[in-house]
Amino acid sequence: MKPEISTETKVQSPKKPLRKRFNIKEEYLWGYLFVLPPILGFMLFAFLPMLFSIYVSFTAFDLYNPAVFNGLDNYKRLLFEDDLFRKTIINTFYAALGIPLSIVLSLIIAMALNQKIKGLSFFRTAFFLPTVCSIVALTLLWRWIFNSDFGLLNIMLGSIGIDGPAWLSSETWAMPAMIIQGVWSGLGMGMILYLAALQSVNPALYEAADIDGANGWNKFRYITIPSISPTTFFLLITSTITALQDFQRFMIMTEGGPNYATTTVVYYLFLNAFRYMEMGYASAMAWVLGLIILVITIINFKLSKRWVHY
Amino acid sequence: MAQKVEVTWYQNRQKRAVIKRVFSYIFLTIGAAIMALPFLWMVSTSLKSPGAIFTIPPEFIPREWRWDNYVRVFTDADLLLGFKNTLMIIIPTTIVGLFTSSLAAFAFAKMRFPGRDMLFFALIATMMLPGIVTLVPQFIIFRDLGWLDTFKPLMIPGMFGAAMAVFFLRQFFMTIPSDLIDAAKIDGLSYFGIFLKIMAPLAKPAIVTQGILGLLAGYNDFMGPLIYLNSPENFTLQLVLASFRGYYTSEWTLIMAGSVLALIPTLLAFFFAQKQLIEGITMTGLKG
């Protein structure tokens, strides 16, 4: 028996490096094959379109005739001549004011739902309802809730003696109405993510704080907030990106009006590209917005080092 | 004396816990009512006669129950066709997309090959890029391919796998011990076999979660169909719903009936997937 084993090892040892290299190469091959589809999709549907849109942004292009190079004209027009673009930027950031409100509210809801209470799944479903529903159905519904004459909101306000405004047809109130609608529809996702985060906070931390005699506020401030900060960060980043690109609900509910009070950058971009057939101009707009989002995301990442604890 | 202090402290704590719980219930009930009210309103409106929706004060219980609104949604507009078109787009897209995404996620998480991390980063970067930047060139590409007014632009890109799904699933695969893979290799299982027989079953919660999110996103997608589909016979559910507004401006009751019907599949999906969905999120990296 003994010599047999030693022969085997002797025979195998010179072959081993070869076989190992073969195995590794095989792993490379399969690895590349497995990641090929998404990478190919990325090249075809993201990277090439990106390069092309940079080029188009320096041209006048109506989709049907060949693009005509016009240098920085689109960007000049965008930044210095188009007052409407400036207005849509302001509108977009105004609409984004709903983000902090939504984050705080979803944390409060998640904390209330993180206790051992009855009807948990009922409450969870109720708060998650808007997330499951289609944007079209929701916005149609809200258009009607905000109706000045027979809308639900003003009738409810009327019952407590408040004369409600003509929400969506008022230049002053259209955006606050859209913020209310946005916060309402975004609560579910934030709630679910915070709930998951709260459930994973180390209970030993609270027990230690109890022994030290910490009160509820201190526990919240020094344990809960830091522990869930990665989730807060995730929500902040994703909801900022979504909010700055938001336009579908504006398109259905207000059509950007009244008097462009609710025209967001992306809705304006959409109008330019697909209604006025100014593809070059729309592409320039996309890149200006893309750069703004990039800068905000980078600032968010840099600041996160001060308050996000992993 | 010391013991008495301790007892009152304990009693105070109990009392505070009860007060906290009562407040939580009041808060949650009011909150849930605010969240659900629009839906109840929607259902109530969908059953009213056209004139009844303008009565002041509004009536939650319709005086005259108009069940035929639900019939008219199908006879006056093609809601069924929209539903069928939507399913024809999202089911194959989600299944194929889930397969390619999870296979790539497995490779990114557990296999070694040069440039792996760089490729992964490039893929993740697409999530940060605003989708609208590539909208115009994508439109041109699809136009030149002759794909406009077909389902292809809504299906083919998704079948290559989605960056978000790859990221989400990779986080999950990372938590599965590599020992399992090594053992399977010794047993002579191929890499595809390892994925199919070991990784995929273990990652079922995450894959199901991703599948449901993908189906929901496809079902509710409005923008994609709006840009690429023109002929009414190609309209998805969301386009049919949106078109009610144009053609039936005064017929709110029909719009609401259509919306209620559109909600049913997604609500069912959430009810059945609720536990899976929340567990899926808790188990992956998002918990922080």
Per-residue pLDDT of chain A (310 residues; tens, 9 = 90+): 344 444 444 444 444 444 454 567 788 889 999 999 999 998 888 888 888 889 989 999 887 888 889 989 999 999 999 999 999 999 999 999 999 999 999 999 999 888 877 777 788 888 888 887 777 778 878 888 888 777 888 888 888 888 888 898 889 999 999 999 999 988 988 888 788 778 777 888 888 988 888 888 888 999 889 888 878 887 888 888 888 888 888 888 888 878 899 999 999 998 998 889 898 999 999 889 888 888 888 888 888 888 887 6
Looking at per-residue confidence, does B164 or A91 come out higher? A91
Contact between chains at A199 and B287 (C-beta distance less than 8 A) = yes
CB contacts of A152 in chain B (<8 Å) are 37-38, 41, 58
Contact between chains at B135 and A286 (C-beta distance less than 8 A) = yes
Contact between chains at B112 and A27 (C-beta distance less than 8 A) = yes
Give the tokens for residue A237. 């980043």
Q: Is A135 on the interface with B (CB under 8 A)?
A: yes
Q: Is A30 on the interface with B (CB under 8 A)?
A: yes
Between CA A90 and CA A99, with CA A96 as vertex, the angle to 5 degrees is: 165
The residue among A207, A294, A32, A267 whose CA lies nearest residue B108 is: A32
**Residue B91 Cα to chain centre, angstroms:** 13
Query: Token pair 């968010």 is at which residue?
Result: A300
* ipTM associated with this complex: 0.78
Q: Is A100 on the interface with B (CB under 8 A)?
A: no
pTM: 0.78
Q: Nearest CA to CA, how far is A75 from chain B (Å)?
A: 15
The residue among B207, B217, B215 whose CA lies nearest residue B280 is: B207
pLDDT tens across B7-65, in order? 666 677 778 778 888 888 899 999 998 888 888 888 888 888 877 777 766 677 877 78
User: A68 and A61 in contact (C-beta within 8 Å)?
Assistant: yes
Contact between chains at B140 and A52 (C-beta distance less than 8 A) = yes
Contact between chains at B270 and A132 (C-beta distance less than 8 A) = yes
Q: Is A245 on the interface with B (CB under 8 A)?
A: yes
B238 → closest Cβ in A134, A142, A230: A134
Contact between chains at B222 and A144 (C-beta distance less than 8 A) = no
Angle of helix B79-110 versus helix B152-159 axis, rounded to 10 = 20
Contact between chains at A122 and B32 (C-beta distance less than 8 A) = yes
User: A201 and B261 in contact (C-beta within 8 Å)?
Assistant: no
A141 → closest Cβ in B42, B116, B278: B42
Question: If contacts are CB pairs under 8 Å, which of residues 61-80 in chain A contact chain B?
Answer: 63
Q: Is A120 on the interface with B (CB under 8 A)?
A: no
B133 → closest Cβ in A41, A53, A142: A53
